[in-house]
Amino acid sequence: MKKLIILFVLSASFITSSNAIDNAQKAKALKAIKHLENAWYSKLTEKLKEDSKGFSAVDFCHKRADKITSQVSDMYKGVTLKRVAVRYRNEKNRATKIDLPVLKEFYKISKKRQTPAIKVVETKKTYRIYKPLVIRKPICLKCHGNEKRMRKKLVASIDEKYPKDKAKNFKYRQSRGAIVAIIKK
């Protein structure tokens, strides 16, 4: 009986390993994520240079972040990019049941002042590669930091665009969410 169980466990692990994401797919997903991060971040900092108070940067995030996500996503065939968060600003980025445990783990690790690592999750039909987005730059706090310390007019501008905003009051080095690259099997 014991042997049978061992055999069963062994064969099950073979099945998962033969199904596992291959390196080329993972590399492509990571490249797409990096591309999105760079495109978004360079535009964000450009807008903040133009207007250090942050108004045009908020407008940029509001009008363009979603578009940039799908545009970059379209450049990588077979990869769908999404931004996800537990405490989201844009409801579209609300974490799903699959995302939640990953994001909670990232948050827990970041609270211990450690850096969460990229995580691959396998579902029946997909592979999901999660890149944690940790608040590592003070500029993030301009729009996601302590509400009382944020510029009042900027808070008003954010609240007007996102009446149900949950993405304020983050602290430096906390995990804010993730970019996830979804690959269909």
Binding site for ligand HEC (CB under 6 A): 54, 57-58, 61-62, 65-66, 83, 85, 88-90, 93, 133, 135, 137, 139-140, 142-144, 167, 176-177
Shortest reach from residue 49's CB to ligand HEC, in Å: 12
Give ∠ CA 13-19-23 in degrees, rounded to 5: 115
Shortest reach from residue 42's CB to ligand HEC, in Å: 11
Shortest reach from residue 48's CB to ligand HEC, in Å: 6
Residue number, 63 or 108, with CB nearest to ligand HEC: 63
User: How far apart (Å, rounded) are the C-alpha atoms in residues 140 and 106?
Assistant: 17
User: How far apart (Å, rounded) are the C-alpha atoms in residues 144 and 133?
Assistant: 13
Residue number, 45 or 123, with CB nearest to ligand HEC: 45
**Chain CA centroid to CA 175, Å:** 9
Shortest reach from residue 141's CB to ligand HEC, in Å: 8
User: How far apart (Å, rounded) are the C-alpha atoms in residues 66 and 50?
Assistant: 21
User: How far apart (Å, rounded) are the C-alpha atoms in residues 14 and 104?
Assistant: 29
